[in-house]
Amino acid sequence: MILSLILQTETIVMRYFSLFILLVCSQALFAQLSITVRTAAEFLNALGPNRTIWVEPGDYVLSQAAFTPNDYIEWFQAYDGPEATLKGVKNLTIKGKGNPRILTEPRYAWVLAFRESGNLHFEGITFGHTEAGYCEGGVLLFDKCHNITIKNCNLYGSGTVGLTLNEVKQFSFLKSHIYECTYAIMSLNLSSNLIFSGASFTKTGSFDLVEIVECNQVSFEKCKFSDNFNDPFAPWFFRIDSSWLTEFNNIKPGNSRQIIIKSCLFENNNVHKFCNEIEKLTLEKNSFKNNLFIKP
């Protein structure tokens, strides 16, 4: 009787152990999923968690493949066309071969937006609009996301800003380029641990160029800011803890901390003023050449 119980127990244990091994192996295989795409529809269909997407060379106009079936994408109607938002996506890597371009035609839509997502990595991709608009339609938006890396990428041609972060934690923008956006370079809100390193920001205007509202630990290191411009009505290169939205809604200014600009080059910028709250910036070993604003 005792021997029979022991054998039954061992059999049950072995079954559960086998199921556990099978589950672990299946999860490992799923986590290593690799997909190569060659069309906009294939790209949209492939977006999801626990995978690496390899994008072959070429142009991928997402609006031409709008509403491609994918449970992780929510489609919204911008003023002049569809806009894709990914929600709840974790562990997604998108890598380009030969610098492919991921584009959208609606001038007032984000090229891509991510909400409540994490562990996202982008490398070797150009994101942009086929034609820049005004008022709405940035390039990349991250809302309530964490652990994001953008490396060797280009963001261009937005109707507002190249990059917007809302409630984002741990973000790295490495050796990448934001250029030719019609309003500003970026908008950073309620976010922390943001690193911009070896990046360039060029040929963008015409309002306050970098807005930072209630952010902590933001660093720009070895970055280049050149050929940007704005208007006396919105004169700031860096606007800290204040924006048109906060002023319009009479919202009390925030308290950003640990904003560091180090070893950066500011050159040929037709920008009227450098920063509205210069005391909130730490400036180290930066170079200023041929700018409209007074050297800080």
Domains in the chain: how many in total? Answer: 2
pLDDT 10s per residue in the chain (296 long)?
A: 454 544 455 554 455 444 444 334 444 444 569 999 999 999 999 999 999 999 999 999 999 999 999 999 999 877 566 889 999 999 999 999 998 999 987 767 889 999 999 999 999 999 998 766 555 668 999 999 999 999 999 999 876 899 999 999 999 999 999 999 999 999 999 999 999 999 999 999 989 999 999 999 999 999 999 999 999 999 999 999 986 656 655 566 679 999 999 999 999 999 999 999 999 999 999 999 999 999 99
Summarised one tens digit per residue, pLDDT across range 12-25 is 445 544 444 433 44
70 and 7 in a common domain: no
**24 and 159 belong to one structural domain:** no
Whether 296 is in a domain gets the answer no
CATH number for the domain harbouring residue 274: 2.160.20.10
**Phi, psi dihedrals of residue 7, rounded to the nearest 5°:** -65, -40
Residue 294 located in a structural domain: no
Residues 78, 55, single domain; the answer is yes
- Is residue 295 assigned to a domain? no
Regarding whether 196 and 111 lie in a shared domain, the answer is yes
Same domain for 39 and 129? Answer: yes
Q: Residue 165 has what pLDDT?
A: 97
Residues 223, 237 share a domain: yes
- 249 with 269, same domain: the answer is yes
**Does 208 reside within a domain?**
yes
Please indicate, yes or no, if residue 26 is contained in any of the structural domains.
yes
Report the amino acid identity of residue 165.
Answer: L
Give yes or no: residues 93 and 226 share one domain.
yes
Domain of 254, in residue numbers: 35-289
Position 159 in a domain: yes
pTM (2 decimals)?
Answer: 0.86
* pLDDT tens track for 266-285: 999 999 999 999 999 999 99
Q: Are 270 and 237 within one domain? A: yes
- Spatial CB neighbours of 177, under 8 Å, sequence gap ≥ 6: 153, 154, 155, 156, 199, 200, 201, 202
Question: Are 85 and 117 members of one domain?
Answer: yes
Q: Is residue 54 part of a domain?
A: yes
Do 122 and 65 share a structural domain? yes
Question: Do 23 and 163 share a domain, yes or no?
Answer: no
The answer as to whether 161 is a domain residue is yes
